[in-house]
Amino acid sequence: MVKKKHDTAVLEKCPTGIKGLDEITKGGLPKGRPTLICGSAGSGKTLFAMEFLMRGIMDYGEPGVFMTFEETPDDLAKNFISLGFDLPNMVSRGLIEMDHVKIERNEIEETGEYDLEGLFVRLGSAIDSIGAKRVVLDTIEALFSGLSNAAILRAELRRLFHWLKDRGVTAIVTGERGDKLLTRYGLEEYVADCVILLDFRIDEQISTRRLRIVKYRGSSHGSDEYPFLIDESGLSILPITSLGLDYPVSTGRIATGIPKLDAMFEGKGFFRGSTILVSGTAGTGKTSMSATFADAACRRGERCLYCAFEESPSQIIRNMGSIGIDLAQWVKKGLLKFHSARPSLYGLEMHLLTFHKEIDEFNPQVFVIDPISNLSVAGTASEVKSILTRLIDHLKMKKISTFLTDLTHFTGSLEHTSEEISSLIDTWLLLRDIELNGERNRGLYILKSRGMAHSNQIQEFLLTNQGIDLIDIYTGSGEILTGSARAAQDAGEKASELVRRREVDRRIREQERKRNALETKIAALRAEFEVETEEVHLMADEEQKRQTVLAEDRLEMAHLRKGKPSSPQALRSKKKRKRRGR
């Protein structure tokens, strides 16, 4: 029960529909109450008020009254058509009622007591005619310059704000910034519920618009100064506070676009959603690396937002064509979008806001800034760091892989970014010049890469017409060689290798020949041996035959002698005898 009572007591809020404002006011402006918007000339008060009305009509179906004390409805219509607000159309559809209150001091004479009932009547009839829920009075302080009796005006303004509250309309009252007070005539005294201050500051010739909620009775609200942006889609405000370190991480990997570089990261490339920094001195190939990375992303069918701070998109496309990367095709397919601006075009906050807007609109998976070092012309180092921290936080929340390049100068250590952001970086590649033998060559190595094994080698970085290539630097015989020296060394090594190989071949062939010769000899010997063996066999046969014949002879002889063949001996002798007898 108590809780319910509490709920009803909570201030009702009226959403403005202005990007970011409802977040920092936690729901919008106090419903049914007047809010004071104050700021100096050109700070965007009228735009703020008009957008409040327009969003009310378009997003929340609440008609509104715009009572202008300065600009004529015609001028307003012309001014806001560029933001896509068609005022005459809205008026004709009965969604908005314009009333121009014009007070010419020179045609008005004041005699005695009066009140501003005429204004009340006009406002009341305007509200009733369209059933308005929102009212804008821009800038009611003009009354003070038109009418001289300040005492009456103050009393009447107090009455007006009470009256607006009684009518239950959510009102915006704008006021010009005063010297000591928030408004020139101290309007904040009367409009006590919610006061928003718009500021337009110029630091070092760069302007930044900022918004601050000075007070908001009965509600908590962001109390910082929030930068805001006015562009063709109206106002957008960006909460300045960092989002904390609770973003989700991915273990997915994405290719770097250079196979050899992937190999240096366990063969898989960067973590998806991580922040990659490439730093190096001028002309070391940072832009080429970013273009390769962007190209690889587009090849995977991902969208890539490329923020170029040094070169125009067409120049990048032309230059990258020379190393065999065709970025124009991706632009055509809508996968690659260039965002090109001079860093000094506007302040850092504005840059951040623009990045946010571009990211929200394009929804990329890969985001490239080339280079971040140029941002330092738009602010101090600490400001740049703050901006980049917030940007990187935002990108990490969205799991967008970020590729930053940083131009380091010859003075000082290379392992040092001008923006002191090394702690924000997950993977840091360093490109450096290696000067040897009157040549300058590019070397690449990995300075750090969180959460993965990575190669510690320095690779020679080559820009070819087929893209980027990495080559192992020659590190034999105790010295490091790059470029043509490495090539010469390689050639020399190749030559001696060839000589050695030939020698080996020659020896092998010789041995082969020897074996062949040996085998021929063996064959010859074997043939000789066989011939001899055959002869021996023949001799043996003959001998046997001879023996047989002898034996027969003997037998015959024996027969002849004794007439009685008794033994082979006798037989042989008989044979012998026979032979002799012949």
Joined tokens for residue 436? 């040897």
96: which residues sit within 8 A by CB, 6+ positions away?
53, 57, 63, 64, 65, 66, 87, 90, 130
Q: Which of 12, 59, 74, 117 binds other proteins (CB under 8 A)?
A: 117
Specify the residue, 147 or 436, whose C-beta has the smaller distance to other proteins: 147
Nearest distance, CB of residue 116 and other proteins, angstroms: 6
116 is an interface residue for other proteins by CB under 8 A: yes
Please give the DSSP secondary-structure letter assigned to residue 282.
Answer: T
108 binds other proteins (CB under 8 A): yes
Residue whose CB is less far from other proteins, 119 or 276 = 119
What is the rounded end-to-end Cα distance, in angstroms, of the chain? Answer: 164
**Residue 150 interacting with other proteins (CB under 8 A):** no
Say whether residue 110 binds other proteins (CB under 8 A): yes
Distance CA 441, CA 270 (A): 25
Complex with other proteins: residue 187 or 238, whichever CB lies closer: 187
What residues have CB less than 8 Å from 162, skipping those under 6 apart? none
Closer by beta carbon to other proteins, 116 or else 182: 116
Interface residue with other proteins, options 119, 258, 425, 558 (CB under 8 A): 119
Residue 166 C-beta: closest distance to other proteins, Å? 17
Q: Calculate the dihedral angle through the C-alpha atoms of 258, 262, 264, 267, rounding to the nearest 10 degrees.
A: -150
107 scored as a contact of other proteins (CB under 8 A): yes
Residue 472 φ then ψ, to 5°: -65, 135
Q: What residues form DSSP beta bridges with 367? A: 305, 402
Q: What are phi and psi of 473, to 5 degrees?
A: -75, 140
Return the closest-CA partner of residue 400 out of 356, 444, 436: 356
Nearer to other proteins, 115 or 497 (CB): 115
| Per CB under 8 A, 7 contacts other proteins | no
Cα separation, 277 vs 317, in Å, equals 21
The 34-39 sheet, strands edge to edge: 96-100, 64-68, 134-138, 170-176, 34-39, 194-203, 206-216, 225-231, 234-237
Contacts with other proteins: how many residues (CB under 8 A)? Answer: 25
CB of 114 or CB of 529, closer to other proteins: 114
- CB-wise, 149 or 386, nearer to other proteins? 149
Judged by beta carbon, residue 124 or residue 259, the one nearer other proteins is 124
Rank residues 147 and 485 by Cβ distance to other proteins and give the closer one.
Answer: 147
Report if residue 27 touches other proteins, rule: CB under 8 A: no
Is 458 a residue that touches other proteins (CB under 8 A)?
A: no
| Residue 124 touches other proteins, criterion: CB under 8 A | yes
Which of 362-381 are b and which e, b meaning 16 or more Cβ less than 10 Å from the residue's Cβ? Answer: eebbbbbbbbbbbbbebbee
Least separation in angstroms between residue 93's CB and other proteins is 19
Q: Does 412 bind other proteins (CB under 8 A)?
A: no
Asked if residue 166 binds other proteins (CB under 8 A), the reply is no
CB of 17 to other proteins, least distance (A): 29
Burial label, 259 (beta-carbon count in 10 A; 0-12, 13-18, 19+): middle
Among 72, 89, 92, 125, binds other proteins (CB under 8 A): 125
Q: Strands 170-176, 134-138: parallel, antiparallel or unpaired by DSSP?
A: parallel
- The smaller minimum CB distance to other proteins, of residues 64 and 371, is found at 64
Exposure b/e, 238-251, CB count within 10 A at least 16 = b: bebeeeeeeeeeee
Residue type at 408 in one-letter notation: T
At a CB cut-off of 8 Å and minimum separation 6, what does 479 contact?
none
Q: Which two tokens stand for residue 331?
A: 């632009």
Cα(322)–Cα(288) distance, integer angstroms:
10
The reply on whether position 375 binds other proteins by CB under 8 A is no
C-beta of 74 vs 115, nearer to other proteins: 115
**Using the rule CB under 8 A, is 127 a contact of other proteins?**
no
The Cα–Cα gap between 250 and 203 comes to 40
Cβ-based burial of 554 (10 A; exposed 0-12, middle 13-18, buried ≥19): buried
Stretch that binds other proteins, among 141-149, 380-388, 510-518, 525-533 (CB under 8 A): 141-149
Rule CB under 8 A: say whether 276 interacts with other proteins. Answer: no
> 102, 158, 333, 537: which one contacts other proteins (CB under 8 A)?
102
Among 26, 59, 72, 114, binds other proteins (CB under 8 A): 114
Single residue of 113, 179, 232, 246 touching other proteins by CB under 8 A: 113
Residue with tokens 């992303």: 297
Question: Least distance (Å) from other proteins to the CB of residue 370?
Answer: 57
Q: Tell me which stretch binds other proteins (CB under 8 A): 142-150, 178-186, 240-248, 373-381.
A: 142-150
Does position 278 interact with other proteins (CB under 8 A)? The reply is: no
The binding site for other proteins (CB under 8 A) comprises 99, 101-103, 107-122, 124-125, 143, 146-147
